[in-house]
Amino acid sequence: MSGKVLVVTGPTATGKTRLGAMLAGALGGEVVSADSMQIYRYMDIGTAKPTAEETLGVPHHLIGTVSPFESYSVSRYVEDAARECDGILAKGAVPVIVGGTGLYIESLISGRDFSSREEDGRIRAELEAQYDSLGGEKMLERLAAFDRERAEKLHPNDKKRIVRALEIAYLGDTISGHDERTKKLPARYEAKFIVLNYAERAELYKKIDTRVDKMMADGLVDEVRGLLDMGLTEEHTAMQAIGYKEICAALRGECTISEAVETVKRQSRRYAKRQISWCGRYEDALRINWEPNKSPDFEKALRDSTKFFSEQV
């Protein structure tokens, strides 16, 4: 392991950005984002990027560094984030990894290995074209011939994971075998986890709805329209983010703006549920659950978190 890091994670709209910046400031550290959409430039409102004021003067890395025309992968994130974390550790500071993209966090911390051949764009493009032509059921049948265990876990509509599994299979491996070997690798970092949430699910959902309403008031529609004017389409990974694809549909006339907003709220709540499930794997985490009908006590959370980190390292 090359160093100790602190991770602040949890479902959307729970205050990760604020607590992460506070902790980095208190510990003399720097923030490394673990958000798969804040990485893109020109996408500020819908991804809830921290403002200059919200960063509290603490250096933040991997926010707005990639063109939205690019398809950013987890392997590329690991490469970029590990470089930032190692640079912070080399200065004797603490990397504070902040975000809700669980796969990014796990892949970074675990030391997961991504060989360059797994990023063969030609094979992936061919498989994607085959999926579009044959459909998910046929592609799953094909995958089962190589990796039945993984095929049985995937839904026919999960194009991304089906293509990924077939890509690895065609390169002479199985994703199940790849994942099993990954588990045996020594961790890249010694990580301590802080998981934020609300004590009551209804309170979390209310916060999510309020956040979406604020995004709309702040100009999300204009932000999406500007991205479309730049030449981005729904085929670009960046435009598949929650909030962007729904507003795109409204701008195409497929639904009203009001209907799109309700869909954004519903999809955000579903995403939060998946994030909560993912965070359940962090058995030794400090879990901070905000009390209902009260403003989150970030000062107490800061005290508890710094104590937790200092006691554990």
Residues 109-127, buried b or exposed e (16+ Cβ, 10 A)? bbbbebeeebeeeebbeeb
In the prediction, which pLDDT does 257 show? 98
Can you list the pairs that 224-231 forms with residues at least 24 positions away whose Cβ atoms lie under 8 Å?
A: 224/46, 224/248, 224/251, 225/251, 226/42, 227/42, 227/43, 227/68, 230/42, 230/68, 231/69
Sheet holding 190-198, edge to edge: 60-61, 30-33, 95-98, 4-9, 190-198, 286-290
Which numeric CATH code is attached to 116-184?
Answer: 1.10.20.140
What does the alpha-carbon distance between residue 179 and residue 113 come to, in Å, rounded to a whole number? 10
In the prediction, which pLDDT does 244 show? 97
In the prediction, which pLDDT does 104 show? 93
- Give domain limits for the chain: 4-112+185-312, 116-184
What does the alpha-carbon distance between residue 103 and residue 264 come to, in Å, rounded to a whole number? 22
Q: How confident is the chain (313 residues) per 10-residue block, as mean pLDDT?
A: 87 98 97 97 97 97 97 90 97 97 93 56 80 91 88 89 85 64 77 98 97 98 98 92 96 98 97 95 96 95 96 63
Rounded to two decimals, what is the model's pTM? 0.82
User: Per-residue pLDDT tens for 139-176?
Assistant: 999 899 888 888 998 998 889 889 988 888 877 666 66
> Phi and psi of 242, rounded to 5°?
-60, 130
Instruction: CATH number for 4-112+185-312: choose from 1.10.3720.10, 3.40.50.300, 3.30.420.40, 3.40.190.10.
Output: 3.40.50.300
In the prediction, which pLDDT does 114 show? 59
In the prediction, which pLDDT does 167 show? 83
